[in-house]
Amino acid sequence: MAEIRVQNLRKAFGDFVAVQDSNFVVEDGEFFVMLGPSGCGKTTTLRMIAGLELPTGGQILLGGDDVTMLRARERDIAFVFQLFALYPHMNVRKNIGFPLLAQGMPSAEIRTRVEETAKLLRIDHLLNKSVSGLAGGDRQRVALGRAIVRRPKCFLMDEPLGTLDTEFRDLMVHELRELHNRIHATTVYVTHDQMEAMSMADKIAVMNHGVIEQFGSPREIYDRPATMFVADFIGSPPMNFLGFGGGLAKGAKEIVVQGAKVAVPEVREDIAPADMALGIRPEHIRFDDASKLRGAIYGTEYLGTTQIVAVETADGIIKARVPAEIRLNAGDHVGLTLNSARLSLFDKGSGRAVRTAVHDTASQGRAQHG
Amino acid sequence: MSLTSAHSVVAPSANSKRIAGAIIIAYALISIVPLLWIFATSFKTPPDSIAYPPKILFQPSIEGYCNLFTTRTRQTPEYINSLGPATGFCDETVRKRNMVIAGPSNFLPRFVNSLIIAFGSTFCAVFLGTLSAYGFSRFKVPLADDLLFFILSTRFMPPIAVAIPIYLMYRELGLSDTALGMILLYTAVNVSLAVWLLKGFIDEIPREYEEAAMIDGYTRLQAFWRTVLPQATTGIAATAIFCLIFAWNEYAFAALLTSGTAQTAPPFIPTIIGEGGQDWPAVAAGTTIFLVPILVFTILLRKQLLRGITFGAVRK
């Protein structure tokens, strides 16, 4: 196993820049997820780490060695494809043993290794079956088996659960994380599914238009989104934004939104007057008739333990997550109270988050993970 | 009428199945009659083969096959009687017509030429076609579209249109009447078809297979050999059959460019002359034998053709 260090990585296809000056470090044994919408450059980054694409610029270090220009087969990594890429003309045993065959391992040893791996993944009963007849989850396990059988320096996975049914997916998310906890393999996992990312990752990089918008633990990314894109991409429903104008002074603890004063975490930097946005997670909104920040109920979505309430305000619809017991009718006028300690402030122009007391506990996105 | 017997929206109705079946049977009959006629003629005696009205029922004879494989000379009955007993069935047959076997005919070497040239050129065309198709399918080839169009354009005119230049060229190069020359020529004609057919098949095979193999420690060539080729067998088989049929049946170039050592069976068969004109049973016998290899080859590869696209482990 090894650490992966990506420095100023860049990839251009003609005029189109797929990946722009990416920098991140995946520590040894870490489960790292690259998250972003399709076309954001996450798969391209992964393919560059794998050696399937050559970067236009920058460096990739694998366990301290520069592998930027090495061929895929010289990097000692394993890759799990979205479509699994199991060879249809080989059975399960041959598929899993295929990487070992490349190393010229004696067949008796291949046999033992394949059987060990199959046991680990609980697919030992399928070894002599054809891969064509396997169910989605089992195909996924065979693909994983082919990856781990070689004990490579790291695993790269490109949306490996993307084609599975929801039922299998939840199971596999669990299995993948459990497998990771057992073998502690450095893993880079690409997905557009925030639930997968949040539930499995030690670290997440959120990408958009070839740029890493934020790099940090799932908690940091959820609680302290670095940009409006991240705030909007993570969370279901996503973070609400209420616009407000004027600048911010260092030390300010209050802003005015739609004529109502709202307490916010203490601002840590001066911001010249500009269009700003207040970011509120749905679960940080409560209904309180005394509040001056008002809206009308637009609709509700019942989810069992909670409900999502859409409230029409002067600045568009915002969504609140409140206990399911509260009875609400469309058209009711309500007051909104916000959980001041957990609010985010953004500069609308750049989308960048304003530094506030929320960030005091943050440590630049790095560390705090063992 | 009960609901269960209501006709399906997607399955063809019984009537349209019957009509389709009738059309296919009619077509099959029309196609097979000439072949059956040739097969029957090959077992007729020369007088039966040109009898009018044509004979459907006749006394079968293998004289045609005997004549095909031998050359004969006419002798006086006295000379024939002075010979010992006939050494074989053919010997006996030809003696009845006051002839003796003088030696083997050229049919067998011509047939072997056909085998060498047709299978050799098919192998070359499919080999080169597979590699070029893979290249076009997987790599960014500059001007790929133009090149592919150029390759296809070699088939815009009938190959025989360039017969004269090729004849002159081959004479200069010393390729006239050589197996190598014919293999080169048929390969050149077939390779465009092979590239186009195989590119379609290889495009359908996801790249992930080779990428997975390359990450797993194989070189690109090994990955191609172990993951792409096994999945392209259907396409390769289909392409090989098309190439072989062309090379096997080709007449015009063979007639023009080969006359002796490298002559193939198609230009040879019509030249089989018997007594007083064409020896039709021998011609029919040659044609019947000529059909066998292509039949065997097609039947052998039929499984590959019918297997269709494998239900791979890749889900789209």
- Position B95 confidence tier, pLDDT thresholds 50, 70, 90: confident
Higher pLDDT, B4 or B156: B156
> Which run of H or of E encompasses A321?
strand A316-323
On whether both A103 and A157 belong to a single domain, the answer is yes
On whether both A153 and A61 belong to a single domain, the answer is yes
Domains along the sequence of chain B with CATH: 46-105 (no CATH), 108-307 (1.10.3720.10)
Is A217 within the bounds of a domain?
A: yes
On whether both A245 and A142 belong to a single domain, the answer is no
Domain edge (last residue) among A171, A194, A223: A223
Enter the DSSP assignment of B30: H
Interface pTM, i.e. ipTM = 0.81
**pLDDT higher than threshold 90 for residue A157:** yes
On whether both A176 and A277 belong to a single domain, the answer is no
pLDDT tens by residue, B213-237: 999 999 999 999 999 999 888 889 8
Distance (Å, whole) CA A43 – CA B270: 65
Domain edge (last residue) among A223, A255, A280: A223
**What per-residue confidence (pLDDT) applies to A59?**
93
Is A368 within the bounds of a domain?
A: no
Through-space distance between the first and last CA atoms of chain A, rounded to whole angstroms = 16
Check CB contact under 8 Å for A132 and B310.
yes
**pLDDT higher than threshold 70 for residue A210:** yes
Q: Does A86 touch chain B (CB under 8 A)?
A: yes
> Which run of H or of E encompasses A280?
strand A276-280
Distance (Å, whole) CA B100 – CA B80: 8
Question: How many angstroms separate the CA of residue A2 from the nearest CA in chain B?
Answer: 17
On whether both A199 and A259 belong to a single domain, the answer is no
Q: Does B310 touch chain A (CB under 8 A)?
A: yes
- CB under 8 Å to B21, separation ≥6 — which residues? none
What is the CATH number for A311? Answer: 2.40.50.140
On whether both A90 and A206 belong to a single domain, the answer is yes
Distance (Å, whole) CA A143 – CA A156: 12
What is the CATH number for A120? Answer: 3.40.50.300
Check CB contact under 8 Å for B313 and A88.
yes
Q: What is the mean pLDDT of residues B114-140?
A: 95
Is A205 within the bounds of a domain?
A: yes
Question: How many angstroms separate the CA of residue A69 from the nearest CA in chain B?
Answer: 14
Is A230 within the bounds of a domain?
A: no
Is A201 within the bounds of a domain?
A: yes
Check CB contact under 8 Å for A73 and B216.
yes
Chain A residues touching residue B308 (CB < 8 angstroms):
none
**pLDDT higher than threshold 50 for residue B2:** no
On whether both A297 and A324 belong to a single domain, the answer is yes
On whether both A256 and A355 belong to a single domain, the answer is yes
Which chain B residue's Cα is nearest to A85? B209
Question: Could you tell me the residue range of the domain that residue A20 belongs to?
Answer: 4-223
Q: Does A132 touch chain B (CB under 8 A)?
A: yes
Is A249 within the bounds of a domain?
A: yes
**pLDDT higher than threshold 60 for residue B146:** yes
Mean pLDDT taken over chain B: 87
Q: Does A157 touch chain B (CB under 8 A)?
A: no
On whether both A73 and A158 belong to a single domain, the answer is yes
Q: Does B139 touch chain A (CB under 8 A)?
A: no
Is A81 within the bounds of a domain?
A: yes
Domain edge (last residue) among A193, A223, A253: A223
Q: Does A4 touch chain B (CB under 8 A)?
A: no
Test mutation, A76, A80, A86, A126, chain B, max B CBs within 10 A = A86
Question: How many angstroms separate the CA of residue A71 from the nearest CA in chain B?
Answer: 8
Which chain A residue's Cα is nearest to B314? A83
Is A340 within the bounds of a domain?
A: yes
Chain A residues touching residue B314 (CB < 8 angstroms):
83-86, 88
On whether both A101 and A249 belong to a single domain, the answer is no
On whether both A209 and A248 belong to a single domain, the answer is no
- Position A155 confidence tier, pLDDT thresholds 50, 70, 90: very high
The total domain count for chain A is 2
The three-state secondary structure class of B107 is helix
Q: What is the pTM of this model?
A: 0.79
CB A112 within 8 A of CB A99: no
> Which run of H or of E encompasses A307?
strand A306-313
On whether both A58 and A128 belong to a single domain, the answer is yes
Share of chain A above pLDDT 90, in %: 59
